[in-house]
Amino acid sequence: MIARALQQLDPPSGSIVMIENVGNLVCPALFDLGEWAKVVIASVTEGEDKPIKYPHMFRAGSLMVLNKVDLLPHLRFEVDRCINYARQVNPRIGVLNLSAETGEGLTSWYDWLRREASQAREGSRLV
């Protein structure tokens, strides 16, 4: 399905194509879609235990984006606990705190995407 979609989309060379998971946090971790990196977006409204409830996805992830951090003053959510759970499952997982509402973390997110895209392009030249 992805190969067919890429043919239809025909993205310019060097583009970033994002494949969104529209199911649960288990299945997408178990299949290789040909992606360069898996990013797990965890919302603070979902609870800090997501990494231990869905370890497959966090184990496969290169990065955890902790989203909706602007809501932290209104929730019982311990950021450090969530990060510790994620790192118990995957010690190498990166973490970015992000708020689309306030813009917090967006620069770091864009920088991460640029770095990964650059590494992917360089890696494709080595093949």
Dump pLDDT digits (tens) for 77-127: 999 999 999 999 999 999 999 999 999 999 999 999 999 988 888 876 543
What is the rounded average pLDDT of the residues 7-28? 76
**In this structure, what DSSP letter does residue 13 have?**
T
All domains of the chain, ordered by start, with CATH? 20-126 (3.40.50.300)
**Residue 17 reports pLDDT greater than 90:** no
pLDDT at 89: 96
Dump pLDDT digits (tens) for 24-55: 655 556 667 778 888 999 999 999 999 999 89
How far apart CA 122 and CA 118 sit, in angstroms, is 6
How far apart CA 40 and CA 58 sit, in angstroms, is 7
pLDDT at 23: 61
How far apart CA 93 and CA 62 sit, in angstroms, is 5
- As a whole number of Å, the CA-based R_g of the chain is 16
Q: What is the pTM of this model?
A: 0.84
Instruction: Give the H or E element holding residue 65.
Output: strand 63-67
Residue 33 phi, psi dihedral angles, 5° rounding: -100, 5
Is residue 85 within 8 A of residue 49, CB to CB? The reply is yes
